[in-house]
Amino acid sequence: MNAEITTDWTAPIMTMIIDRGKANAIDAATSRKMGASFEQFRDDPDYRVAIVTGAGDRFFSAGWDLKAAADGEAYEADNGPGGFGGFPELADLRKPVIVAVNGLAVGGGFEMVLAADLVVAAEHAEFMLPEALAGIVPDVGLIRLPKLLPKALATEVLMGTRRLSAQEALQFGLINRVVGADQLMEAAQELAATVIAAAPLSVAAMLEAMSLAESTSTPDALSDLRAGNYPLYKKVLTSADAAEGIAAFNEKRAPRWQGK
């Protein structure tokens, strides 16, 4: 555990709280520590889902720590194998990450939201990318946001001149739920419970398929699927969990997943 990043390992959920001053800004060293926790989460079969939130109720995260920048940290500093925030670029992470947005998600904080699998936000949460106003550019946001929003709106957000409310983010499908601030972690836990109820291999196969198909046309993606180029999809079909799921349905009982 790091004093600025609190990580609770209560299986099957890993919960991470960003607690770095008033704005929960993240420098490269902190990002690498977050990445190490996410690598542990990825590799430990006892953990099924991760929840990331910020301390306090004003900021989820202001993104890159500009104090570190003023001290000489480069914009493209080594943020670790998972990229900024520890998970957005982590290879073979086939477990869902839930982000619980407790306030402002700014710059890299917003990009963590865009990289998450599921997102719940407090009613007062807002989302923005101010990098252009600071003479730099987003990276994850620059690639992901135009795929998720209408072009005119994405351009306005990327230029740093438009801040999205929680309700707008919900309307455009950027997040899953908006709740009262006092219900935020409960809502995140409820989403986590839906993940945990599903078969681990099935969840992993779905995340793999969505990732692999993201930059592929639908016909090509289906062709790859049928050709066995989605390894986890193929593995699920003959898994013990597939047989268990059918047996549990017919016997009218809860399934006992093994993850194999």
User: Which residues carry out catalysis?
Assistant: 111, 131
Which amino acid is located at 221 in the chain? A
Per residue, the 3-state secondary structure of the chain, as one string, reads CECCEEEEEECCEEEEEECCCCCCCECHHHHHHHHHHHHHHHHCCCCCEEEEEECCCCEEECCECHHHHHCCCCCCCCCCCCCCCCCCCCCCCCCCEEEEECCEEECHHHHHHHHCCEEEEECCCEEECCHHHHCCCCCHHHHHHHHHCCHHHHHHHHCCCCCEEHHHHHHCCCCCEEECHHHHHHHHHHHHHHHHHCCHHHHHHHHHHHHHHCCCCHHHHHHHHHCCCCHHHHHHHCCHHHHHHHHHHHCCCCCCCCCC
- What are 122's strand-pairing partners? 179
